[in-house]
Amino acid sequence: MRLGSGLVALLSLVLPLLMHVPESLPSTAMGSVLLLYLERVLAVFAILLFLLVFLYRSLVHGELPRAVSGRGAEWTDLADSSSSTSSELQTQVDELRAAIAEIRETLGE
C-alpha cells in the first residue's frame, strides 16, 4: 500500500508535465501555466487515488463499491463486515468441534 501511495504521488506530479499546454489557456487557469499545472496535478492525484482505493478494496478485501456518485464511492464498512464474518466462522468452528466430540463419544474414544 505504501508503494502504491508513493506511485500515485509521483505520477500525479509527473503526468501533468507530459500533458500539452494549449496556446490559449482555459479560463480556470486564469492565464497562469503554473496554476494550470497545479490544477492538473490535483485532478490526476484524485483520479489515481480513487483507482488505488478501488483496486485495494477489490483485490485485497474482495468488495466493490455499493454506489458511485458525484460525491464519490460508497463502500460498506470493513470493520463491520470483517467482525461479522469472523463471528460466523467461529460459530461454524464451534459446531464442528461439537460434532467431532459427539462422533468420538459414539465411537467410544
Q: Angle at CA 73, nearest 5°, toward 5 and 65?
A: 95
Residues 6 and 56 in one domain: yes
Residue of 91, 63, 56 whose CA lies nearest to 77: 63
Quote the CA–CA distance of 19 and 33 in Å, as a whole number. Answer: 12
Q: What is the pLDDT of residues 54-99, one digit of tens each?
A: 888 888 877 877 787 877 777 777 665 566 677 888 889 999 999 9
Same domain, yes or no: 59 and 101? no
* pLDDT given for residue 51 in this prediction: 87
- Are residues 38 and 59 part of one domain? yes
Domain count, the chain: 2
- Asked if residue 83 and residue 63 are part of one domain, the reply reads no
Q: In this structure, are 58 and 96 located in the same domain?
A: no
In this structure, are 44 and 65 located in the same domain?
yes
pLDDT value of residue 83: 61
Check whether residue 49 and residue 98 sit in a common domain: no
Residues 44 and 8 occupy one common structural domain: yes
Q: Which residue range(s) make up the domain with 29?
A: 2-69
Q: Could you read off the pLDDT of 2-31 as tens digits, one per residue?
A: 788 888 888 888 888 788 877 777 777 787
Same domain, 61 and 91: no
Do 83 and 62 lie in a common domain? no
Q: Are 13 and 41 in the same domain?
A: yes
This model's pTM is above 0.85: no
- Verify that 28 and 48 share a domain, yes or no: yes
